[in-house]
Amino acid sequence: MSRYPIHQSGLFRLRSIGQLARLLRYDSKTLRALSDVGKHYHVWPETDANGKERIIEAPQGQLKVLHRRLVRIVNRIQLPEYLHSGRKKRSYITNAEAHVSSRTLIKLDIRKFYPSTSTEAFVRGLRDYFECGVEVADLLGDLCTFEGHIPTGSPFSMMAAYVALKSRFDRAAAAAKARGNVFTVYVDDMTLSGSLVNNRDRDLIKSIFKGSGLDLHKFKYYGPTTAKSVTGTILRDGRKHLPNRRHLKIATNLALLESLPQGAEKERLYQSVRGQMIEASQLEPSYAHRLRRIE
């Protein structure tokens, strides 16, 4: 898929609701109806593997289709090198790979990223980044956010949060480049690395986000001789490695797979561990050979 400059985007300098409706393939009346988002979201609590509960806010029906169309529209423009989430051919692995040769590294993340990223920030991003008219930006703010913030379960959430925070991410990337460092963003994780990053670099990023309403936390520093954990990837000796916990999970599942009799349960586990090994092979090529033995 070819990418083009922001000024060639269909969203750029949209001034009327009619133009927006045509871009999103809805009529104006339907767009305004969908902007009453309380009727178009399913909200439920979800508990992760660590027992931590979070609230999922997922658009449904036509609103979800609209969000997916916005993903495609934003993904067609040229995006900055530092952004590794919410876009094709980028992932948590490419995010880590950007830092694989660095001697020192700092990580920070944004607490409660989507709930803390406001509708106001998203609307301001649309006006600053896409130069949308006020009416268009306000309607998109209503269509793409939920109860005053970026929703936690939308396919557009990652890109909406990027639009909302682009100006701050851009400043952080420019500041890092000026000091000879590398800066990347993967969802709520910001990583800064270089030959000698330090507290001054961390404090510079924190100052850029001051007044944003976002709380930067989980600060972690890795020195020259330390293995570095970046977005689910271990960086050591100039190479990417799978974390030990994922090695263990695959080994445990393989042992269980071997012990199960033929049947639906074994097939479900096989498909699960197969997916785990395919993903692991992107970091540890030996898993591709191991996978062939069980196929």
Whole-number pLDDT of residue 104:
97
Torsion over CA: 224, 227, 229, 230 (sign): positive
Intra-chain end-to-end CA distance of the chain, in Å: 33
Can you give the pLDDT at residue 1?
Answer: 56
Looking at the chain, which runs of residues are DSSP E strands? 41-47, 53-59, 104-110, 182-186, 189-194, 216-222, 228-230, 233-236, 239-241
Residue 2, pLDDT score: 66
How far apart are the C-alpha atoms of 109 and 216, rounded to whole Å? 6
The side-by-side arrangement of strands in the sheet containing 182-186 is: 182-186, 189-194, 104-110, 216-222
State the alpha helices, DSSP H only, in 192-282: 199-208, 244-259, 264-280
CA atoms in the 13 A half-sphere facing the CB of 79: 23
Nearest to 243 by CA among 222, 225, 228, 261: 228
**Distance of alpha carbon 94 from alpha carbon 282, whole angstroms:** 10
The CA distance from 295 to 93, in Å, is 25
**Full strand arrangement of the beta sheet holding 233-236:** 228-230, 233-236, 239-241
pLDDT for the residue numbered 11? 95
Query: Residue holding tokens 């395919």?
Result: 278
d(Cα 239, Cα 203) in Å, to the nearest integer?
A: 28
| pLDDT for residue 89 | 87
Residue in the block written with tokens 């045509």? 22
Residue 289's Cβ-count burial label (10 Å; 0-12, 13-18, 19+) is exposed
Tokens 């961390």, residue located? 202
Structure confidence at residue 159 (pLDDT): 96
Can you give the pLDDT of all 295 residues of the chain as single tens digits?
A: 568 899 999 999 999 999 999 999 999 999 999 999 888 999 999 987 777 889 999 999 999 999 999 999 999 999 999 999 988 889 999 999 999 999 999 999 999 999 999 999 999 999 999 999 999 999 999 999 999 999 999 999 999 999 999 999 999 999 999 999 999 999 999 999 999 999 999 999 999 999 999 999 999 999 999 999 999 999 999 999 999 999 999 999 999 999 999 999 999 999 999 999 999 999 999 999 888 888 7
pLDDT, residue 51, reads 79
What pLDDT is stored for residue 105 in this prediction?
98
